[in-house]
Structure 1
Amino acid sequence: MLTRTWRTVAGLPAPLRTLFFTTLIFRTGTMAYPFLAPHLLLNGGLDAATAGLTVTGFGVGALAADLAAGKLLGRLHPHTLMQGGFLLGAAVLVVVPVLHGLPALAAGVLVWGFAYEIVTPAAYAATIAGSAPAERKVAFSCYRLAINLGMAAGPVLGALLFAIDPYAVFWANALCVLAAAAHLHSRRDPAPHDPARRGPAAAAAGRDGSAPPGGGDRQPLPERTRFWTAFGLSLPLQLAYALPSVFVGTYVIVGLGLPGYWAGIVFTVNALGIVLFEVPLNVRMARVGDLPTLLTGYTLAGAGFLLMALADTGPGLVLATLVWTAGEIVVFPGLLDYVSRLSGPAADHNMSLFSGGVNLAFITAPQLALHLSAPGHPGTPWAVAGAAVCAACLLLLAARNHPYTWHKEEPCTSAI
């Protein structure tokens, strides 16, 4: 599996290989954010409630970046926007450790969240510009692989540095961000977006492949309703997959009374599954249509989270994790591929909004988990998440029958 994955990454077009390694360096540098709350409590002079509110500001800044990215990508090359995010992020990371007091820290964290997240819609735009429609599912799976590899390594490195010197975590993070910027700059493709890579609909938008003035607001009504249908049906999925990062530890240790190492095993199983199987599986599924891909992913995700609600032993948690990890491997590259192709010339605008849904889920999920979990019913958040995903799957089946809610795909003739 690893050999097949490496061959797939090595076989990507040069711009996508550059994006892969830039993303890998950038996400490996994500070592300061997991330790932001401890820093605020120990060195920032904030109490627990104020620190939590300040950390939430990171998500608000990220959401603002997603809302602004569509307009920015109409004027800037994706690489230019990524470079801007890198440089702003590195500057903020150097400043945040020396800030004190709520107003200064809140402003710094908000700008940090904006700089961090603006890279994501720009990377989506670069992926779309660098891949033909038939190759896009695999291209997105490679991009997700870079994210997951980096995010697996970053917090581990951050934990080691935080134990030595809390301030060093922020400085090391800034250096990694600058390294990502340097790598992207040294291999930057100066060519504009190629609309031919997006498909016939995008070619009408002009040589840069950007949306017409006004972005998604001037799309024909059927195209807008198809996007918002996909966006709405993705929200239960985004909320469900935001749960593990914020709720697994509480569920395993407090809810089930199991040893804490089972939470670590859950995260390890999920990470290994993605790293080993996501790219090879999506290579095999490159010619599978949108509907069967999404239905398979939604079904596995719904079943996996319902099994999490029923699990009361360590092996049961592992089995459930394998199921929802399989759903994640299938559904997210499929969703990104589907949304990018249904959007035509408004792809940059719509992908930015879609990325905003991810951040909305990460802001909302901790609050939902807190309110839904209760003594005697610790698995309720998982059950609600699984039921919501299953309901979205049924709505997806209904949506496919109307041209205002479903994008009919063009035949797939090639793959990476």
Structure 2
Amino acid sequence: MIVKTFRIVAGLNDALRTLFFTTLIFRTGTMAYPFLAAYLLLSGGFDKAQVGTAVACFGVGALAADLAASVLLGRIGARTVMLGGLLLNAAVLAVTPLLHQLPWIITAVVVWGFAYEVVTPASYSATIDGSAPAERKVAFSCYRLAINVGMAIGPIAGGLIFAVSPRAMFWANAACVLAAAGYLALRTKSSGTAARPARATERAAAGVRPLRDHTRFWTIFGLSLPIQLAYSLPSVFASTYVIVGLGMPGYWAGIIFTVNALGIVLFEVPLNAAMTRWANLPTLLLGYGLAGAGFLLMGLSGSGPALVLATVVWTAGEIVVFPGLLHYVSGLAPSGDAADRNMSLYSTGVNVAFIVAPQLALLLSGPGHPGAPWAVAGAAVCVAWLLLIAARRSPYTWHTAEPRTTQEPSTEEEPCKSAI
């Protein structure tokens, strides 16, 4: 599987390969945020409530970025937005360790969240520009692979640096972000703005979008929220559930994270390459079904092996459902600006879920029912699975892609080689 994944990544066109390595370098620099709360508590002068407020402000900045991204992408393009976000990110990281008053720290964290998150919708836009519709599912899988590998490395490196010098961790993070910006600037210097004139032509030709274009998007946006909330649980609740709720040794939480990470790294890209000819509906139904079953099993598990089995099931769902959702949302609007707007709003849903999930998990869990958050998440995903089937019955709630012609090149062996 590793060899096949490597071959698929190596077969990406220049634009997508540049995005892959830019994302990998950028996400490898995710060192400071996981340790932000610990840094503020150890720096002295702040209580837990103040630290919690400061950390939550990162999400506020991220939401602002998602809401502003479509306007920025329409005016200055994905490359400029990415470079601006990376440079602003690095600048904030360099300054944050020098701040000591809470208002200034909160301001820095809001700007940091904005700069960090604005890169995501710009990356979605670059993926759409750099791939044909038939290749897009694999392209999004490769993008997610870069994120997952980078964010597996970054916190480990951040922990090691934090143990030596907490301030140095911020500056190491800034250096990685600058390296990502430099790589992107050098690799796209001659062709980074080529997509903008085409976007202007698309806007002129698109005219006013019909009502069903909007209703289709908001249908899938609503149906994606249970998935976003469910998959926010592992990162914010798994350790608490295993150690506090079930009273099991902490290493079982580590095993859950390891199984999930290995599954994504080893299988996501090859599996989506094999499923490239699948239509959107069966792809999403499979992903939602596996997710719902996996999270229900998590809520019912009372032993380590049962938790691992449940993790395998919901990891399989994650591998299928997220590239499937991105592929479907990206195809709802052929117009460049409309596609940017859809992807930016989709990112908003991701961030809302990540902010809400910890509060819901703590509210639902208790001494007599520690697995309730998992069960509720699984049940919500199963309801969304049923609503997907119902949604496909109307053109106002479901978009059916045009069937692929026999003349289209196969993407199973060498995906994403089309030029921009």
TM-score > 0.5 by shorter chain: yes
**What's 1:336 paired with?**
326
Local SS of the residue matching 1:348 = helix
* Superposed displacement of residue 208, structure 1: 2.4
| Structure 2 CA distance for partners of 1:209 and 1:409, relative to 1, 3 Å | farther
* Superposed displacement of residue 110, structure 1: 0.4
Percent sequence identity over aligned pairs: 69
Q: Aligned pair 1:223/2:213, yes or no? A: yes
Write the letter of the residue equivalent to 1:6. F
Alpha-carbon displacement from aligned partner over 1:302-349 (angstroms, at most 9, x marks no partner):
000000000111111100000000000000000000000012211011
Local SS of the residue matching 2:76 = coil
Q: Aligned pair 1:208/2:209, yes or no? A: no
**What's 1:102 paired with?**
102
Local SS of the residue matching 2:199 = coil
Of the three residues 344, 353, 356, the one matched with 2:345 is 353
**Structure 1 segment 88-99 matched on structure 2, within 5 A:** 88-99=88-99
Contact 2:79 2:193 in 1 (8 A): no
**What's 1:201 paired with?**
none
Q: Aligned pair 1:376/2:368, yes or no? A: yes
Local SS of the residue matching 1:342 = coil
Paired with 1:52 and 1:193, the residues of 2 have a C-alpha distance of: 43
Paired with 1:249 and 1:98, the residues of 2 have a C-alpha distance of: 32
Q: CA RMSD in A?
A: 1.5
**What's 1:198 paired with?**
none
Write the letter of the residue equivalent to 2:260. N
* Superposed displacement of residue 211, structure 1: 6.9
Local SS of the residue matching 2:302 = coil
Of the three residues 280, 302, 307, the one matched with 2:297 is 307
Paired with 1:155 and 1:411, the residues of 2 have a C-alpha distance of: 43
TM-score (ref. length: structure 2): 0.94
Contact 1:66 1:121 in 2 (8 A): yes
**Structure 1 segment 230-245 matched on structure 2, within 5 A:** 230-245=220-235
Contact 2:79 2:192 in 1 (8 A): no
**What's 1:202 paired with?**
none
Alpha-carbon displacement from aligned partner over 1:229-285 (angstroms, at most 9, x marks no partner):
010000000000000000001000000000000000000000000000000000000
Write the letter of the residue equivalent to 2:373. P
Local SS of the residue matching 2:396 = coil
| Number of residues of Structure 1 aligned to a counterpart in Structure 2 | 404
* Superposed displacement of residue 45, structure 1: 2.3
Local SS of the residue matching 2:191 = coil
* Superposed displacement of residue 76, structure 1: 1.1
Write the letter of the residue equivalent to 1:339. V
| Structure 2 CA distance for partners of 1:34 and 1:292, relative to 1, 3 Å | same
Write the letter of the residue equivalent to 2:363. H
Gaps in structure 2 of 5+ consecutive residues: 416-420
**What's 2:418 paired with?**
none
**What's 2:401 paired with?**
409
**What's 1:318 paired with?**
308
**What's 2:63 paired with?**
63
Write the letter of the residue equivalent to 2:359. Q
Write the letter of the residue equivalent to 2:46. L
* Superposed displacement of residue 194, structure 1: 4.8
* Superposed displacement of residue 95, structure 1: 0.9
**Structure 1 segment 247-326 matched on structure 2, within 5 A:** 247-326=237-316
Local SS of the residue matching 1:190 = coil
Contact 1:73 1:210 in 2 (8 A): no
Local SS of the residue matching 1:404 = coil
Paired with 2:41 and 2:201, the residues of 1 have a C-alpha distance of: 44
Greater alpha carbon shift after TM alignment, 41-50 vs 341-350: 41-50
Paired with 1:209 and 1:313, the residues of 2 have a C-alpha distance of: 57
TM-score (ref. length: structure 1): 0.95
Gaps in structure 1 of 5+ consecutive residues: 196-205
**What's 1:200 paired with?**
none
Greater alpha carbon shift after TM alignment, 386-395 vs 182-191: 182-191
* Superposed displacement of residue 49, structure 1: 1.2
Paired with 1:333 and 1:357, the residues of 2 have a C-alpha distance of: 15
Contact 1:138 1:333 in 2 (8 A): yes
**What's 1:41 paired with?**
41
| Structure 2 CA distance for partners of 1:67 and 1:211, relative to 1, 3 Å | farther
Local SS of the residue matching 1:407 = coil
